Amino acid sequence: MLQVIDIVDGTIVDGPGLRTSIYFAGCRHACEGCHNPQSWDFSAGRPMSIEEIMERVEEADSDVTLTGGDPLYQIDELIGLCRAIRQKGYGIWCYTGFTYEQILADPSLARILDYVDVVVDGPFVLALRDISLRFKGSANQRLVDVRRSRPGEIALWTDQ
C-alpha cells in the first residue's frame, strides 16, 4: 500500500503535456517555503493499492508524475507502482528533494532510475525561488533526463 494524498488528472504543471500527478504523503526535507507542507505528514491522505492507483492512471490515459511530499520515502512500494505504470506504456516524471547524485549513491533509491524518464531533483530553496522556471520551483533544481544521463555526466531534459 502507498500513502497517497491526492491524484490529479489532466494537470499541465508537473511535466510536459497532460499528466496524472500522484501526490504521496511524507517528506523529511522540510524545505523552507514549501508550497505543500501538509504533505510532510507520512500519515496524510489514505493508503491505496497499486491496483487502485492504476485504475486512475488508466482512466486518465496520460503520462504520470510522482510528487508529494517526496515519493522516494515510499521507495519499496513505489517500485511496484512504477513497474505497473511502465507496463501500460506511460512515461514517468519524479519530483524529489534528493539530488540525482544522492539517488545514485543509495542502491535502494537508485532502483527508481530503471523506471523514470525525468527526475526533478533537489530541495526547494526559497532564496532561489523563480516562478519563471519551467516545471521546477527554484534555480538549484534540475530536470535530469535519466535515459541520457550517465554516472558523472548528467544530461538535462529539454523538450526540443
Report residue 35's pLDDT band, with 50, 70 and 90 as the boundaries: confident
| Residue-level pLDDT at 150 | 83
CA 59 from chain centre, in angstroms, equals: 20
- Beta-carbon count within 10 A of 56 CB: 16
pTM: 0.96
Q: What is residue 107's three-state secondary structure?
A: helix
Q: What is the mean pLDDT of the chain?
A: 96
**Distance between CA 12 and CA 55 in Å, rounded?**
20
Confidence of residue 152 (pLDDT cuts 50, 70, 90): confident
Is the predicted pLDDT of residue 160 greater than 90, yes or no?
A: no
Q: Cα 49 to chain center, whole Å? A: 18
Distance CA 115, CA 94 (A): 10
Phi, psi of 116 (to 5 degrees): -90, 150
Residues 40-69 pLDDT 10s: 999 999 999 999 999 999 999 999 999 999
C-alpha cell at 125: 530553496
Domains of the chain are 2-145 (3.20.20.70)
The separation between CA 87 and the C-alpha centre of its own chain, rounded to angstroms, equals 18
Q: What is the pLDDT of residues 99-113, one digit of tens each?
A: 999 999 999 999 999
